[in-house]
């Protein structure tokens, strides 16, 4: 695995923002704290954490929280997403988050863990047959 120190300065800042967001995780049921952060085309960073609910289906993942945070502030030009959790290997977004990442055309995803391991992948690698606008014609 690549280490955080091998990322560019802006990529490292994004992983650090995701790690900070993780500290706000509301995960009293799973105890699985996740943080995420997105970077817009103009370098703005928006972060989010996972927010659980006793009814698991209304839980919101960190990745979607970060994306929705950016979009709610008028930014749908997201170029990069980072996600981090305390896992043995870099953590990957769930299926629902992958679809939202595809919806906003976020091309690159940094998957990280709290030990400093990272893996950079594309959305096409994570969700090769994403449902998109062209499927609704």
Residues carrying an active site annotation: 63
Tokens of 137: 């014609």
Q: Which residues pair with 8 in a beta bridge?
A: none
């Amino acid at each position: 695995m690549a280490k955080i120190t091998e990322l560019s300065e802006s990529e490292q800042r994004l992983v650090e923002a995701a790690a900070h967001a993780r500290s706000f995780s509301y995960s009293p049921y799973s105890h699985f704290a996740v943080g995420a952060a997105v970077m817009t085309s103009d370098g703005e960073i928006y972060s989010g954490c996972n927010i659980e609910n006793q009814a698991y289906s209304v839980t919101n993942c960190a990745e979607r929280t970060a994306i929705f945070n950016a979009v709610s502030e008028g930014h749908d030009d997201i170029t990069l997403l980072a996600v981090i959790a305390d896992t043995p290997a870099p953590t990957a977004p769930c299926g629902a988050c992958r679809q939202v990442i595809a919806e906003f055309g976020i091309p690159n995803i940094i998957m990280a863990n709290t030990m400093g391991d990272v893996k950079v992948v594309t959305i096409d690698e994570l969700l090769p047959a994403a449902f998109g606008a062209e499927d609704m014609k």
